[in-house]
Amino acid sequence: MRILQLHCDSIEYTPTKKEIKLAEDIENPQTQRLEEVVVAFVAIEDGDDSSVAQNAISQIKNSMEKIGCKKLLLYPYAHLSSNLAKPSIAMTLLKDMENNASDLEVSHSPFGWTKSYKIQVKGHPLAESSKVVTKDSTDSKDEEEMTSEALKGESKIRSYWKIMSPDGAMKNIADFDFTNNKKLEILAKYESAKQRRVDEPPPHVALMKKMAIADYEPASDSGNMRFFPNGRLIKSLIERYVTDRVKEYGGYEVETPIMYDSEHPSMVSYFNRFPARQYNINSEGKKLFLRFAACFGQFLMANQFQMSYKNLPYKLYELTRYSFRREQSGELVGLRRLRAFTMPDCHAFCKDLDQAVDEIQVRFDLSQSVLNELGIDESDYEMAIRFTEDFYNENKSAIENLVKKHGKPVLVEMWKEKFFYFVLKWEFNFIDNLGKASALSTDQIDVENGDRYGIEFVDENNNMRHPVILHNSPSGAIERIIYVLLEKAAKDSKEGRKPQFPLWLAPTQVRVIPLKEEFYGFCEILTEKISTTNIRVDIDDRNESIGKRIREAEKEWIRYILVIGEKEANSENLSIRDRQTGNVRELPFDDFLKEINEQTKGKPFTGLNLPKYLSKRPQLMV
C-alpha cells in the first residue's frame, strides 16, 4: 500500500464521472469541502490484506496525533502505484481502514470515480509525508520524518525565555522593563513570540547595487550572488581581517572540501540529524552534498590527529568560501540570507567542560573586538544566550560573566533538556532598520561530536577521551557583515548623517580631480606618492564639470577629495575636501597621509580594484 499524506488547510473535490464498473454508487455527486484535515491519498497494491490496512491506519493515526489533527479524509488514488490490487479488494480494505479509525472524524472520497480537486497544503515540515506499507514491513519507513528529526526535536523541546541583566539577575520577559532596551525587545519578541512586521524592502538591497558591490546572478540559483570589483575588494579585506584575528588568537587555518559523500559512514549520523536543506549532487553513483558548515571537514581532519591533553585547547580555523544552505526560496533576502555564503568557522578542541568554559570567554572577547573593528559596536546588536538548565546550575558564574561583558541585558533561552549537540550557545543579533534580527558572531559548546567523529586525545592518566568542541564564528557570514554595514549606512542617511564605510574598507579612499588637462602630470606624480603609503587613490580625468565630478565622488562615499589647479600645483599644501565635514581644509602633504594612515592602522590593505583613471572605468551601476 502506498500513501501520500498531506496536512491541509482545506480540500475541495467534485466527483465528475464513474471510471470503473465497480465504482461506488453515490446519490448526489456534489462538491465536498473539508477544512483542517489530513488527506491520505491511498493506493491499494496487489498482495495487501487487512493486516496491511490495519498497520497503515495506525501509522496515519500516529502521525496525526503528532501534528494535532483529528480529521481524516481517505482519498483513493490509483496513480501512486503501477501494481494495483483488484478494485473489489481495494474497496474492502479502504472500508476496513475507515472502520479502524472511527475514533477520528473520518470520511472517504468515492471509489472508482474521476474527481477534480483543489487542495491547500500547510507549510510546516511534517505536513507532507509518504509511506509504503507492505505485509513484511511492519515498521515502514516514513521518509519525510526521517530527515526531520532535528525539526521534530526542536518543536518538542521545552524552553523558558528570560532576560538576564549584567548583574546576573534573571526576569521573565513579561516582567522586564524594555524602555531603555528597545532593540532587545524586538529580539525577544522575534525569537520567543515569532512576531515580525515590515512592509518595505531592506535598504541594503538597493545600496548593494548602487554602490556596485553585489547583485543577484540570474544564471545561478537564487541566493548565489555576484560581487563586483568594489564588493570583492570590501569582502576580501573583511575576510583577511577576520582571518588575521583568528590566527592571532591561535587558530590554525586549514582548507577542507566543499562536498561530502552523504553515505560515508562518518557522515551518516551527523547528516541525519539535520533537515534536508542542502544542495545534492549525484556523481558516479555517489550522493554528494555541498557542505553547510565547516564542522565536518575539520572534525574528519581532527579524527586523524594524535592529540595529548597537553595540546589542548587546539584550534582549527577555516574561512569557507562557500558554505551552502538551500534555504527555502521565500527566505532569501539580499545579502542577509543567502544560499552560498562565506563563513569563518573556528573549532577549539578542549579537554573537558571546564577548559571549554574558560576558552569560551577568550573567544567571546575576540568576537566582540572583531565586530567592533569592523565598525559594529554593542549598540548595534543584542545578545542571546541559550543553555540547558543543568549547565546553568553548574556554570552560573561563567554565564554571568559573558552577560557582564556584553554590558546590557541579554535574552536567555533555558532548555529543560539538551537537543542537537550543544549545552550552551550564544550569539550576537544585529537588529536592522526594519526590526529584523540576524545572527552575527556565535559560539557553542558541543559535547557530542567529539564522540560521533571519533576525535580522541590521551589524558593525564593515559586514557583515551573525546574532546569538548567549541564552534565559533567571530564575525558571522562575511556577506552578512556587508549587509550590516550597508544597513547602518542607510540608517545614517535616513537620519540626516552622511553614509560611509570605515575608511579601511572604502574602495577609493582619496579622489583627485584635476581642474584642467594641464594638471594631469602633476596629479599622476601626486597619486604615485600617495599610493606608496598604502592608500587607494584614483583620478577623475573625465571631461566633466568640476561640480559634477565632486558630486559623483560624494555619491561614491569617497572620504577625501583633492581638487588640483594652479593654486595646489604651486603650493606645499593640499586643498582637501573632507566628506565628514563637507568643508575644504588646507593641509601639508605629509600630515594628510598621516591622518589617513592613523585611521587604517592595523587593518589589511589591498590596492585599487578598478582602473586608476575614471575615464578607463566601465560604468557598472548608476
Partner RNA sequence: GCCAAUGUAGCUCAGCCUGGCUAGAGCAUUCGCCUUGUAAGCGAAAGGUCGUGGGUUCAGAUCCCGCCAUUGGCUCCA
Pick 22 or 198: Cβ nearer RNA: 198
Percent helix, strand, coil in the chain, to 5, is: 35, 30, 35
Strands (E), 402-527: 410-415, 422-431, 437-446, 457-458, 464-465, 468-473, 510-514
Window 148 to 167, contacts with RNA (CB under 7 A): 150-151, 154-155
For RNA, the closer of residues 29 and 275 by Cβ is 275
User: At closest approach, how far in Å is the CB of 163 from RNA?
Assistant: 19
On whether the CB atoms of residues 411 and 163 are closer than 8 A, the answer is yes
The phi and psi torsions of 204 (rounded to 5 degrees) equal: -70, -20
- In angstroms, the CA 594 to CA 533 distance is 9
DSSP 543: S
CB nearer to RNA: pick between 187 and 370: 187
Residues 6+ apart with CB under 8 A from 512: 523, 526, 527, 537, 538, 539, 540, 562, 564
Closest CA to 474 of 394, 355, 372: 372
- 84/157 with CB nearer RNA: 157
Q: Tally Cβ neighbours within 10 Å of residue 525.
A: 10
User: Which residues are within 8 A (CB) of 468 and not within 5 positions of it... i.e. 6 or more apart?
Assistant: 349, 350, 351, 352, 353, 355, 356, 445, 446, 447, 450
Q: Does 619 contact RNA by CB under 7 A?
A: yes
> Which of 278, 355 has the CB closer to RNA?
278
Torsion-angle region of 243 (φ positive above 0: left; ψ -120 to 50: alpha; else: beta): alpha
We find the least distance from the C-beta atom of residue 129 to RNA, in angstroms, to be 14
The torsion angles phi and psi of 129, rounded to 5 degrees, stand at: -155, 155
Residues 572-591 that bind RNA (CB under 7 A): 575, 577, 582, 584
Residue 204 cell numbers, joined: 541594503
Rounded to a whole number of angstroms, the minimum distance from the CB of residue 545 to RNA is 3
Determine if 378 is a binding residue for RNA (CB under 7 A): no
Q: Which of positions 269-308 make contact with RNA (CB under 7 A)?
A: 274-275, 277-278, 292
Interactions with RNA, residue window 194-213 (CB under 7 A): 194-202, 205, 209
Q: Of 110 and 565, which CB lies nearer to RNA in the complex structure?
A: 565
Between 30 and 543, name the residue whose CB sits nearer to RNA: 543
Of positions 42, 561, 593, 596, contacts RNA by CB under 7 A? 561
Query: Which three cell numbers mark 329?
Result: 526560496
Helical packing angle, 478-494 and 203-210, nearest 10°: 100
**Closest distance between RNA and the C-beta of residue 317, in Å?**
18
CB under 7 A: which stretch of 51-59, 92-100, 326-334, 340-348 binds RNA? 326-334
Q: Which residue of 98, 261, 327, 389 would you call a contact of RNA, by CB under 7 A?
A: 327
Of these, 229, 454, 502, 565, which contacts RNA (CB under 7 A)? 565
E strands in 109-151: 113-121, 128-132
CB of 477 to RNA, least distance (A): 10
- The footprint of RNA on residues 19-78 (CB under 7 A) is none
Query: Which of 436, 442, 443 is closest to 483 using CA atoms?
Result: 436
What residues from 412 to 431 belong to the interface with RNA (CB under 7 A)? 420
Query: If we measure between CA atoms, which residue out of 451, 425, 174, 173 comes closest to residue 302?
Result: 451
CA distance linking residue 439 with residue 367, whole number of Å? 12
Q: Which of 76, 223, 231, 344 binds RNA (CB under 7 A)?
A: 223
- Least distance to RNA, CB of residue 619, Å: 3
Residues 94-133 within binding reach of RNA (CB under 7 A):
120-121, 123-125
Residue placing its CB nearer to RNA in the complex, 118 or 135:
118
547 lies in the site for RNA, by CB under 7 A? yes
Total site size for RNA, rule CB under 7 A: 75
Check residue 566 for interaction with RNA (CB under 7 A): yes
Check residue 499 for interaction with RNA (CB under 7 A). Answer: no
Contacts of 346 (CB under 8 A, 6+ apart): 246, 249, 251, 315, 316, 317, 363, 470, 471, 472, 473, 474
Would you say 45 or 568 has its CB closer to RNA?
568
From 352, 412, 417, select the one nearest 382 (Cα to Cα): 412
Local structure of residue 135 (DSSP, 8 states) = S
Q: Which of 548, 580, 591, 607 binds RNA (CB under 7 A)?
A: 548
Question: C-beta of 573: minimal distance to RNA in Å?
Answer: 10
Whichever of 309 and 420 has its CB closer to RNA, that residue is 420
148 CB contacts (<8 Å, ≥6 apart)? 125, 126, 275
Rule CB under 7 A: is residue 393 a binding residue for RNA? no
Residue list 434-473, contact with RNA (CB under 7 A): 434, 436, 438-439, 444
| One residue of 68, 218, 285, 602 binding RNA per CB under 7 A | 218
Q: Judged by CB under 7 A, which stretch of 16-24, 51-59, 188-196, 313-321 contacts RNA?
A: 188-196
